[in-house]
Structure 1
């Protein structure tokens, strides 16, 4: 179905080619998972399948990419629209109509299909994806999982033989992600659609994949069975790391497979328990929020939430898409709407409400990095962003740059922020916010788009912030990150707090939020591979 024959893609002379002499085949009806570090070339590989590389992105393509017998050099994306459907990371940004039914029909209108055919395919797709009850709903009112399914449906109505998905679950809560992946596997198994899917959160996807294409970042593509490829790389989900620690061969890819092999490991852990975290000092809160209310037309996003943030602690804010996490962060920071309640940050001269302060002063008390860190970056170079951050906060020249070098050493100062990887852009935005030295740092979906190695670096940074006495809040769907990093978990639903406790209390009690290690070793209270490894070390 898809063939790469000695393909090399180069964007500029003197810059390493993201794909170099790649030869591979993806057969009809396969679910092919694409993995690799941030910036390794995954997006280039995906875009080459429907001709966006090089017709849209520019650069030079050597070799041949063939899809359903069509050479992409001679067939630009518009000529492949009936064969290849592409769904990007942010489905909302790709919608061009207002309602679900209109969006499903739009692609067929561009292909000039007869109205009778269009109507039939819309009905079939609504039933296939289980969204018939949403047909008249405005797209902006849908949850993240619903939007993702509608985006998939919008390309399916054209009956493509190949579906290309770029991180389809990165912005979804665990339950919504399972719904989307169930839809994708149904397309593969029942309809024979060939799916090529790139994803950083391998723990969600790898068990469904027929093949794994791993990009190490040097232009090569390692092609093979998922268990075989993961055995030789350092980019692996917790389940695979647990399998390596326990010596399981072949490595398990699903919780079910791991549980079947875990009896011996459970016996070894019978008489030990996870190390207890150090008792939290009972310090006065650095930020206190009471009865916070946020309303939007037709909905209450935050319904009277109380929140205490203490120095040196990491709090995870969790909940399904649309539960009010981002609205609460923006209300606490002061930049977002807040129709009720109070927020007080402890200051040397008494408590302050960030909303009542000018933006520059508010940043010195509460810093926020949004889901898209690039929204904070508007200058032409990294150095310009750092210089501006020093100027706005009145700190000595070089302060922001020094912080950036701690987060990601050696980042070229003349690089445009748009040309940075997701991890580098996050580091720059975080350095800009930390230049003001706020005692409270709010991070909204900070690991979206980060590979496992980048997440480990991010974890180290957050731990240093907490060790320095900062209070850190993470709004995230990444259960593995929360299990590793958070001291406390607050769960929101429909704008209200439904659970608040230690990480172990909340995550071990919830199937939806339980990390992979907890599912494998339940009912024992283990959360991470690191905990298990520490327990197995000889005394």
Structure 2
């Protein structure tokens, strides 16, 4: 169904090809997973398969890409629309109507599908993706994950023979992601649809793959059986990393297969002997619970409404210095609404948000002054600061900073250097403050490059550096790992840990439980706008069926969350 024959792609002004001599064949009714580090060319390969490369992106494509016998170099994307359906990374950018039901029908209208058949397909898509309750909702009022499901449904209603999906689960909670992937698997197995899919969260999708294509940073590609390719791939999900560490053959691709092989490893971690014994008492549990610092922000009885939707219901929350707190919950649970209410710019129908021991204005104390040696000083009413919502935007940024789901929303200037300079000026910071923060977060980002030309990780780092120029005591992040590979997530985890070590409070909303397991000290779970769990990350994650990371599921009942926890438990060096 898809044939890629000696394909190379070189973009204008690029020093080297993004793809180099790629050969690939995807059979009808096969799910092919494309993996690789950020910038390796995954989106380029997907774009070549649907005609967007080079027709929309420009650049030089050599070799040949055939989809159902059609050469994509000789056919514009519109000429492939009856065969190929495409879901991009940003669903909102692809919407053309106002409501969910209209969007699901739009593609079929363009293809001339009969009205009666259109209605049937819309109902099927609503049921398949759990969208029935949202059918009349305006698209702009949906959460990021709900928008993602609508974008997938809008493509599925046209019933293409080939689906090209770029990170289709990046904005979905674990349960919704499983439902979407299960739906894709049914399309593959029952209807013979061919799926070409790129995804960074491999732990979600690798078990569904018939073939894996691993792209290298030099543009080359290795294709084959998933277990064989992932055994040596630069990126791999935790279940594969654990299999590598334990020496399992063949490598398991699912939690179920890994649990079958994990008995000896579980016993070794629980009752080590020999050289491992010395490490067992101190390292059998991950270290994710630092001593609580002074409170920096308190919220009490917070309610948020969006029209008839009661998004946040009576939330009480305290953020303390030196702590990384993760906010989990299904799509539409109210996570983003709560973050914006805490930051002060979002609506708040009732309740209070109060800074504690944090001064507003240019004379505010630096968070570093509230570091380890100053913990425990906040808390009394006389140290209570203002409500962020009552501060001017410039003052609020110096106290509580928020990086939204789309970091590019904060970026509007033509170069990285201009963004950093503007951030310094707006925050009243010394010149070079934002640039220094960016270098610490993502070394080597070219100062003269346009922010839109950065990788997802670099763009996130720039947005975070812009916010850190104001030296805020509280840092809020909404889905910060979208579009990041495992290496970029590890770098972000270290950066958040460093911010906490400076005495700041960090709160991040995320669906990425593997990332949360590696960086969060404390975890909250939000459901229907209410906090239903609040405790140490180890306890909350390991005790949850929906939010437990792969290692916790495989090694349960041992209280281990990540491969690094297992490596430490075995007494091995990273």
Distance verdict in 2 for CA 1:136–1:409, change over 3 Å: closer
Deviation for aligned residue 1:433: 0.9
Pick from 294, 298, 309 the counterpart of residue 304 of structure 2: 294
Counterparts of residues 453-492 of structure 1 (less than 5 Å):
453-492=487-526
Deviations 1:217-272 (A, max 9, x none): 21111111111111112311111111111110121110000000011101101234
Does the aligned pair in 2 maintain the 1:50–1:72 contact within 8 Å?
yes
1:337 to 339, 347, 366: 347
- Which deviates the most, 327-336 or 529-538? 529-538
Deviations for 1:386-411, whole angstroms, at most 9, x for unmatched residues?
11111112222111111111111111
* Superposed displacement of residue 121, structure 1: 4.2
Q: C-alpha displacement at 1:8, in angstroms? A: 1.4
Structure 2 residue runs of 5 or longer lacking an equivalent are 272-279, 360-382
Distance 1:526 1:340, change over 3 A: same
- Aligned-pair CA distance for 1:91: 3.0
Q: Name the CA shift for 1:488/1:171 in 2 (closer, same or farther; >3 Å).
A: same
Q: Residues 531 and 214 of structure 1: is their aligned pair in 2 closer, same or farther, counting only changes over 3 Å?
A: same
Quick one: which of 440, 443, 446 aligns to 2:480? 446
Shift of 1:282: 4.4
Contact in 1 for aligned 2:292/2:323 (Cα 8 Å): no
Q: 1:394 aligns with which of 417, 428, 432?
A: 428
Q: How far has the Cα of 1:126 moved from its partner?
A: 5.1
- Separation (CA, whole Å) in 2 of partners of 1:257 and 1:62: 41
Question: Which residue is 2:543 aligned to?
Answer: 509
Q: Report whether the alignment pairs 1:317 with 2:327.
A: yes
Change (3 A) 1:44 1:338: same
The match for 1:284 is 294
- 1:90 counterpart residue number: 90
What SS does the corresponding residue of 1:269 show, helix, strand or coil?
Answer: helix
For 1:291 and 1:2, the matched residues in 2 are separated by 55
2:303 and 2:119 map into 1 onto residues whose CA distance is: 43
Instruction: Show the counterpart of 1:189.
Output: 189
TM superposition shift of 1:334: 1.0
**Residue number among 387, 393, 397 corresponding to 1:353 in the alignment:** 387
Distance 1:226 1:315 in 2: 35
- CA displacement, residues 400-449 of structure 1 (integer Å, 9 cap, x when unaligned): 11111111111111000010000000111111111111111111111111
Q: Distance in 2 between matches of 1:10 and 1:538?
A: 42
**Alignment of 1:420 onto 2:454:** yes
Change over 3 Å in CA distance of 1:59–1:309 after alignment to 2: same
CA contact (8 A) 1:290 1:341 kept: yes
Shift in Å at residue 142 of structure 1?
5.6
Contact 1:174-1:512 at 8 Å conserved across structures: yes
Residue 7 of structure 1 aligns with which residue? 7
CA–CA distance in 2 between the matches of 1:283 and 1:129?
43
Q: 2:293, 2:323 within 8 Å by CA — same for their partners in 1?
A: no
> In the alignment, what sits opposite 2:50?
50
Note if contact 1:508-1:514 (Cα within 8 Å) is conserved in structure 2. Answer: yes
CA distance in 2, matches of 1:65, 1:278: 48
Tell whether the 8 Å contact from 2:303 to 2:351 is kept in structure 1 after alignment.
Answer: yes
Distance verdict in 2 for CA 1:330–1:536, change over 3 Å: same
SS at match of 2:295: coil
**Distance in 2 of aligned mates of 1:308 and 1:517:** 29
Partner residue of 1:231?
231
Deviation at 1:464, TM superposition (A): 0.9
- CA spacing shift, 1:296–1:204, aligned 2, 3 Å: same
TM-score normalized by the length of structure 1: 0.95
The alignment partner of 1:524 has SS state of coil
Query: What is the CA deviation profile of residues 296-351 of structure 1, one whole-angstrom value per residue up to 9, with x for unaligned ones?
Result: 10011111111111110111111111111111111111111112111111225751
**For the Cα contact (< 8 Å) 1:148–1:180, is it kept in 2?**
no
- For residues 395 and 145 of structure 2, the distance between their equivalents in structure 1, rounded to whole angstroms, comes to 37
- RMSD over aligned CA atoms reads 2.0
Shift in alpha-carbon separation, 1:315–1:67, aligned structure 2, 3 A? same
Are residues 479 and 282 of structure 1, via their aligned partners in 2, closer, same or farther at CA, if it must alter by over 3 Å? Answer: closer
Instruction: State the distance in 2 between where 1:438 and 1:176 align.
Output: 34
